[in-house]
Amino acid sequence: MFNFIFDRFSRDIGIDLGTANTLVYVKDKGIIVNQPSVVAVNTRNDQIIAVGEDAKKMIGKTPPHIIATKPLVDGVISDFEVAEKMLKYFIDKVHRDSYALAPRPRVVIGIPLEVTEVERKAVEDAALSAGAREVLLLEEPMAAALGARLPVRDPSGQLIVDIGGGTTEIAVISLGGVVVARSLRTAGDELTENIIQYARDQFGLLLGEHSAEEIKLKIGSALPLDKPLEMRMRGRDVMTGLPREVVVNDSQVREAMQKVIKLIVENVKNTIENTPPELVADIYERGITMTGGGALLRGLDKLLSQELVVPVQVVDDPLTAVVRGTGVVLEDLENVRDLLLPSTRS
């Protein structure tokens, strides 16, 4: 009875709860939220001032009583209360134009591989506290594979490399399950940190996170470019404490990010080495599928293909692959329940 009422007035939603961005898919409507996973909180009255893009603009610019924070680190919840408030904000936003006074949607959430039961429970509890009536968890590589419309139930190997903000998920999928996998807590955010460290070491320049991310997106690459790119890097001089500007090129940014890029390539290689031979044969034929924001780094797909001698393809709109996968689950829940993780509450 109650479930019928909740189904009538609530909209089931899928969430890609990422370290860098949170995306929300609404059943029968598609993706309606794509915002940075940042919350600005006033510590004097514990009130949320901004969420998403508006909160991200405040990072590094707030007075002492306002904290712009990311409630997720390395793909898992690090600040439960803020994560709960962020989820509630997005759930309420989805139902803003509905008749529901207290929406109680069913929620499908993509989570990283190899998270502990405590970390899984934190995600479930945060979503339930935010207003969900039921929380269904789906491993991110499986969600990405569903979002890319790969035949995950076939008896053939599908190798997914999902590079997000906080984690890189590498998984071989066959017969509706993950056969071999690696989860690295090294991804896009680490590339940004490397640029910040490089600016300090090479130029004596203290660079902000937003500036470093902009440099990564605009001139970052995994392989040398046909046409060299340059960009102005602005920050605070370590010695004088005064503003300073230097010009960096794509070669220097590539050098800064080299360590993390090599680590990702090595782990993809190691995953293939630990995969059963029959599935490796499938991967050699079908290739590697890349998803996540990190897949957009110039030349990374070509570098992987060169190093592994396997074709590599980046899916259309890789940033939304995981949330599109949660949408596939919502649209056909009864037939895909076996792909979901068991609840920690059962």
Please report whether residue 61 resides in a domain.
no
* 329 in the same domain as 231: no
Q: Indicate if 299 and 159 belong to the same structural domain.
A: yes
* C-alpha R_g of the chain: 21
Tens of each residue's pLDDT in the chain, 346 residues: 445 444 544 679 999 988 889 999 998 888 998 999 999 999 888 888 999 899 988 888 889 999 888 898 888 888 898 899 899 988 888 877 655 555 688 999 999 988 889 989 999 999 999 889 999 999 999 999 999 999 999 999 999 999 999 899 999 999 999 999 999 988 999 999 999 999 999 999 999 888 999 999 999 999 999 999 999 999 999 999 999 999 999 999 999 999 999 999 999 999 999 999 999 999 999 999 999 999 999 999 999 999 999 999 999 999 999 999 999 999 988 889 999 988 876 6
Domain annotation covers residue 43:
no
The residues, any chain, with a CB within 8 Å of residue 237's CB and separated by 6 or more, are 204, 205, 206, 243, 244
Residue range of the domain that includes 115? 2-38+80-142+322-339
Q: Write the single-letter amino acid at 7.
A: D
Residue 269 φ/ψ, nearest 5 degrees: -60, -45
CA distance 24 to 96: 14
Same domain, 32 and 87: yes
170/300 same-domain check = yes
- For residues 257 and 195, the answer to whether their CB atoms sit within 8 Å is yes
- Identify whether residues 287 and 173 lie together within a single domain: yes
Q: pTM of this prediction?
A: 0.89
Report DSSP state, residue 315. P
For residue 286, tell me if it sits in a domain.
Answer: yes
Q: Which residues pair with 249 in a beta bridge?
A: 230
**Residues 277, 182 contacting (CB under 8 angstroms):** no
Q: Are 25 and 88 in a shared domain?
A: yes
Handedness of CA 224, 230, 236, 238 (dihedral sign): positive
Q: Which of 256, 275, 294 is the last residue of a domain?
A: 256
Q: Where does a domain end: 240, 256, 272?
A: 256
Residue 331 lies inside a defined structural domain of this protein? yes
What residues contact 195, with CB distance under 8 A and at least 6 apart?
A: 207, 212, 215, 216, 220, 253, 256, 257
User: What strand order describes the sheet that includes 177-184?
Assistant: 177-184, 168-174, 158-163, 288-291, 312-314
| 229 & 90 share domain | no
Helix, strand, coil shares of the chain as percentages rounded to 5? 40, 25, 30
Please give the Cα distance from 103 to 125 (Å, whole number): 17
Considering the domain boundaries, does residue 233 fall inside one?
yes
CATH number for position 196: 3.90.640.10
- In sequence order, what are the beta bridge partners of 15? 24, 109
Residue with tokens 């890189």: 168
**Residue 322: CB atoms within 10 Å:** 35
Domain shared by 173 and 198, yes or no = no
Q: Supply the CATH number for residue 327's domain.
A: 3.30.420.40
Residues 156 and 304 in one domain: yes
Burial (CB count <10 Å: 0-12, 13-18, 19+), residue 201 = exposed
Which distant-in-sequence residues (6+ apart) come within 8 Å of 102 by Cβ?
131
On whether both 333 and 229 belong to a single domain, the answer is no
Number of folded domains that form the chain: 3
Q: How many CB atoms lie within 10 A of CB 48?
A: 15
Domain boundary residue, one of 256, 289, 306: 256
User: Is there a single domain that holds both residue 121 and residue 220?
Assistant: no
**Are both 182 and 194 inside the same structural domain?**
no
**Domain assignment present for 178:** yes
In a domain, 345, yes or no: no
Determine, yes or no, domain membership for 279: yes
